[in-house]
A and B are shown apart, each in its own frame.
Chain A
């Protein structure tokens, strides 16, 4: 038995998408300090998203929302053994460079922060660290993948505790993928134009019936039932932002959402973990919102 001398390749699409594959079936939780990160890890989170304010507080406080303080991200990295993600503003490649230098495991180019560029997203191929991006429809998802995103999350409407937009976006992406899968070769050219997406990616979705990268769900998930709902609608994992630490009993809520995400097809388990949970976060009717975060990015 001799060892190989072949060189190692870092930052390949396989390696970047691979981490997203490892997160499937899990819950990624927003945390604002090491104590919350530990609660998340104890509850069985597959990763944490380190940020200064959860989306519902960003919504309440207003102002420009930016990348978190590196010190706070490093404190969270030290406090847990699971992957740590962090958010950069849309188009703010310098924030992304900083996050890569900090050795975060995934960067979320996120509409929850105030966009830095109204025309261009980050060229994500230029990075070794993988990126997740939000999408409200298939065209947006494929544009982000074309720019190098290795994981797509349906956007939903962050910080509302209302799952309605998450459901809308997941259903839209799935319906548009089914449309591609049933199209003939000649139709794909016009469909790629309609979707404003790279033709090669449109052809790939048409052939496989799914995105070339995993599809997770975010924005408004605040109960175990919400997690089960979006998993049954085709999400492969869930991001929970304000839903855990804005609930009455975050420890129990975190554990319950983790179990409901794994056993999403078993209503008996979801019922059991939903029992006696205390109050979920106070939700918001999306029609009354002043700022719709999902409209950021294009």
Chain B
């Protein structure tokens, strides 16, 4: 049975843990570098990307995780997690860093502030229609050819990728963990 970590520095950790447990994997919460030992994959939850970035540095996780990611460690990021994995961050803080593992440009709060947060259904390739919950969601504005797009969504301004994969790294603009639908997480756990 795969062992999957959930980065537990800040954000909706509990929902990811619950979703993964329903899929039958062993779940470990990760707050320090030693928590990463023996894991087959890691989920980076939703939350505030500036806060999570700050705590990744103070906890010593940033350097360890960067090395593991470069060596092929499998990571799935939702919302803030997607931001942390993206190459280019638009509308972020000037000093905002990322792990630079997805060749996408992502705009923080690209779907608007909280009043514009929304629910809608999203069709995921080879999976079907899943509920999409977008909360101050990051918008993938562009991506390179080597990025595999698993779902797109048109919020009135054209199709934008909302679920992507590049090698060992997955990123999602919305929050499958806030719903009872397990299929997006299952795509990730099936790959472990």
Least CB distance, B50 to chain A, in whole angstroms: 6
| Interface-side segment among A14-22, A154-162, A245-253 | A14-22
- B residues near A (Cβ < 8 Å) are 8-15, 31, 46-48, 50-51, 54-55, 58-59, 79-80, 91-93, 108-109, 113-123, 125, 129, 133, 135-136, 149, 151-155, 159, 175, 178-179
Interface residue ranges of A90-109 to B (CB < 8 Å)? 100, 103-106
Please measure, in the bound complex, the distance between the C-alpha atom of A106 and the C-alpha atom of B135, giving whole angstroms: 13
| Interface-side segment among A38-46, A61-69, A116-124 | A38-46
Interface residue ranges of A20-47 to B (CB < 8 Å)? 21-26, 41, 43-47
The answer to whether A83 touches B123 (Cβ under 8 A) is: no
Report B-chain residues with C-beta under 8 Å of the C-beta of A130. 114
Report B-chain residues with C-beta under 8 Å of the C-beta of A105. 113-115, 136
Report A-chain residues with C-beta under 8 Å of the C-beta of B79. 22
Please measure, in the bound complex, the distance between the C-alpha atom of A130 and the C-alpha atom of B116, giving whole angstroms: 11
The answer to whether A3 touches B153 (Cβ under 8 A) is: yes
Interface residue ranges of A55-84 to B (CB < 8 Å)? 81-83
Report B-chain residues with C-beta under 8 Å of the C-beta of A47. 48
Q: Count A-B contacts at CB 8 Å.
A: 139
0 or 1 for each of A259-275: is its CB under 8 Å from B? (1 = yes): 10011001000000000
The answer to whether B48 touches A10 (Cβ under 8 A) is: no
Least CB distance, B127 to chain A, in whole angstroms: 11
Please measure, in the bound complex, the distance between the C-alpha atom of A196 and the C-alpha atom of B5, giving whole angstroms: 42
- Is A287 an interface residue, CB under 8 A from the partner? no
| CB nearest to A266 among chain B residues | B31
Least CB distance, B128 to chain A, in whole angstroms: 11
The answer to whether A103 touches B117 (Cβ under 8 A) is: no
Report B-chain residues with C-beta under 8 Å of the C-beta of A14. 119, 133, 178-179
Task: Identify the interface centre among A4, A23, A25, A105: most chain B CB within 10 Å of its CB.
Answer: A25
CB pairs A–B below 8 angstroms (6 shown) = A1-B152, A3-B152, A10-B116, A44-B55, A81-B50, A262-B9
Please measure, in the bound complex, the distance between the C-alpha atom of A88 and the C-alpha atom of B115, giving whole angstroms: 17
Report A-chain residues with C-beta under 8 Å of the C-beta of B116. 10
- Given A1-B152, A4-B121, the answer on whether A21 and B114 have CB atoms closer than 8 Å is no
The answer to whether B13 touches A24 (Cβ under 8 A) is: yes
Task: Identify the interface centre among B59, B108, B119, B121: most chain A CB within 10 Å of its CB.
Answer: B119
- Is A6 an interface residue, CB under 8 A from the partner? yes
Report A-chain residues with C-beta under 8 Å of the C-beta of B152. 1, 3
The answer to whether A21 touches B15 (Cβ under 8 A) is: yes
The answer to whether A4 touches B123 (Cβ under 8 A) is: yes
Quick one: which of A6, A259, A266 contacts B120, CB cutoff 8 A? A6
The answer to whether A258 touches B51 (Cβ under 8 A) is: yes
- Given A3-B123, A3-B154, A21-B15, the answer on whether A15 and B55 have CB atoms closer than 8 Å is no
- Given A21-B12, A81-B91, the answer on whether A129 and B115 have CB atoms closer than 8 Å is yes
